[in-house]
A and B are shown apart, each in its own frame.
Chain A
């Protein structure tokens, strides 16, 4: 998605002024700035570009309960990042650590306006549609603008040779069809990652007829109880990222470098078993985390790095009924390459990943299938 020209980013549509109730409020009431001058610099003095950054004082005037929830929302506070860094020993009372976090991790934060008015900064920013407020955020520009490579590209089948999700191809479902208002966008914090959100969607909410006697041979109790749905139904590989390093350049601008991403498909042990995610076997992807993530800022800023695996629970969005690994029993059974084994993990990360690595003897043995082989 090419970024907008700089003038396009701030062009207000007549339609917004004529039809959008938010236009009645007036520019200065929300954005500040100075009235009565044609001089650009003078007019912008004291102007607040992103008014959604303070939901209580702006959006919260009318949308009170949304604004209240936004104060602690996962998109706004990035509780997932904080949770993971904290578990790896990150000390959010240490100014050095906080500086590193602020410089490199807070760019993914999203306020009300980041979803309903503007394009995300990952796409270069600018107004979504001439300042019109979008009640439902654009799935490709907004949701997909941030959650691109691992979610939107999976979902639409943008990875070469891997089909899109059947939910998109056949049903044309949008993000909000599963991730409803009550879930990731507007509820308050549950204090951790998205996997701890009690309102997050589950497959079974729609596929309630999936059960051991549903006529599908693989849906026996053992498979259903021990395997996450994606393990069988992800249509193919998904993206893993590696080796993120951060720093400040000679101008003091923050930068990061990552190693080339890879398409992977790895089944492993569940690193976060819970009532909502009780399965033993889940899909894993490599997160772009490493011990030296913040080494530019100081030594050993993540002293508990090995507390969490670098291969983490993942939910690819390219779901289909028939997939390469579920075509036959032996498409999975005996297929060592599908499982995360010790040799898939670099030596310096093996301690961190010990809970999720699959021992050779744990890989299900080939079975005799009906009709031979």
Chain B
């Protein structure tokens, strides 16, 4: 009986640990989403001084440890570093400049 309870406790602990490792944090908790509120909460610093906020760097460090939970960019990188593939699939965007434009802008 005592052994069964221990096994149950162990199983719960394993499930909890897996949940912490595998479940992606909600969108509001991502570093990008935090960026906006961070600007509201960190007091103004004279911009002539440090331009990189230490608290922001700390957030980035946290973020880097969470990278396993963020979407993989492997597919983006595979395509955008492959010159041959890009030449095949890259398309001129729909025309956004009028042919009637003339003269120096």
Q: What per-residue 1/0 map shows which CB atoms of B63-105 lie under 8 Å from chain A?
A: 1100100111111110111010011011111011111111111
Please give, as numbers and ranges, the residues of chain B lying within 8 Å of A12 by CB-CB distance: 77, 80-81
Contact assessment for B97 and A256 in the assembled complex, using a CB-CB cutoff below 8 Å: no
Q: Does A2 contact B (CB under 8 A)?
A: no
What bracket does the count of chain A residues touching chain B fall in? 35 or more
Contact assessment for A56 and B52 in the assembled complex, using a CB-CB cutoff below 8 Å: no
Contact assessment for B91 and A256 in the assembled complex, using a CB-CB cutoff below 8 Å: no
Q: Find A57's partner among B36, B42, B60 (CB 8 Å cutoff).
A: B36
Segment touching B, from A20-28, A78-86, A169-177: A20-28
**Bound complex: CA of A66 vs CA of B47, how far in Å?**
7
Please give, as numbers and ranges, the residues of chain A lying within 8 Å of B33 by CB-CB distance: 57
Contact assessment for B34 and A61 in the assembled complex, using a CB-CB cutoff below 8 Å: yes
Q: What per-residue 1/0 map shows which CB atoms of A34-78 lie under 8 Å from chain B?
A: 011110100100000000000011101111111111000000000
**Bound complex: CA of A66 vs CA of B92, how far in Å?**
33
In this complex, how many residues of chain B approach chain A with their Cβ under 8 Å: the count is: 56
Contact assessment for B101 and A6 in the assembled complex, using a CB-CB cutoff below 8 Å: no
Contact assessment for A62 and B48 in the assembled complex, using a CB-CB cutoff below 8 Å: no
Contact assessment for A10 and B53 in the assembled complex, using a CB-CB cutoff below 8 Å: no
Q: Find A182's partner among B48, B63, B80, B102 (CB 8 Å cutoff).
A: B48
Question: Provided the pairs A11-B80, A253-B97 are in contact, do residues A62 and B53 lie with their beta carbons within 8 angstroms?
Answer: yes
Please give, as numbers and ranges, the residues of chain B lying within 8 Å of A186 by CB-CB distance: 47
Contact assessment for A35 and B72 in the assembled complex, using a CB-CB cutoff below 8 Å: yes
Contact assessment for B47 and A56 in the assembled complex, using a CB-CB cutoff below 8 Å: no
Q: Does A213 contact B (CB under 8 A)?
A: no
- Inter-chain residue pair count (beta carbon < 8 A): 162
Contact assessment for B102 and A258 in the assembled complex, using a CB-CB cutoff below 8 Å: yes
**Bound complex: CA of A10 vs CA of B77, how far in Å?**
11
Contact assessment for A61 and B89 in the assembled complex, using a CB-CB cutoff below 8 Å: no
Q: Find B47's partner among A28, A35, A60, A187 (CB 8 Å cutoff).
A: A187
Contact assessment for B73 and A62 in the assembled complex, using a CB-CB cutoff below 8 Å: no
Contact assessment for B101 and A64 in the assembled complex, using a CB-CB cutoff below 8 Å: no
**Bound complex: CA of A261 vs CA of B102, how far in Å?**
12
10 A-B pairs closest in CB distance: A258-B103, A255-B98, A35-B71, A27-B73, A253-B98, A7-B90, A64-B53, A7-B86, A27-B76, A255-B100
26 residue pairs A–B, Cβ–Cβ below 8 Å? A5-B90, A6-B92, A12-B81, A27-B73, A28-B70, A28-B73, A29-B70, A29-B71, A40-B79, A56-B39, A57-B35, A60-B35, A61-B34, A62-B52, A64-B42, A64-B53, A65-B46, A65-B53, A69-B47, A253-B95, A253-B97, A255-B98, A257-B100, A257-B102, A258-B103, A258-B105
Given contacts A6-B92, A25-B60, A182-B47, could you give 20 more A-B pairs where the C-beta distance is less than 8 Å? A7-B83, A12-B81, A24-B67, A28-B71, A29-B32, A35-B73, A57-B33, A60-B38, A61-B34, A63-B53, A64-B45, A65-B45, A68-B47, A244-B103, A248-B98, A249-B99, A253-B97, A255-B98, A255-B102, A257-B102
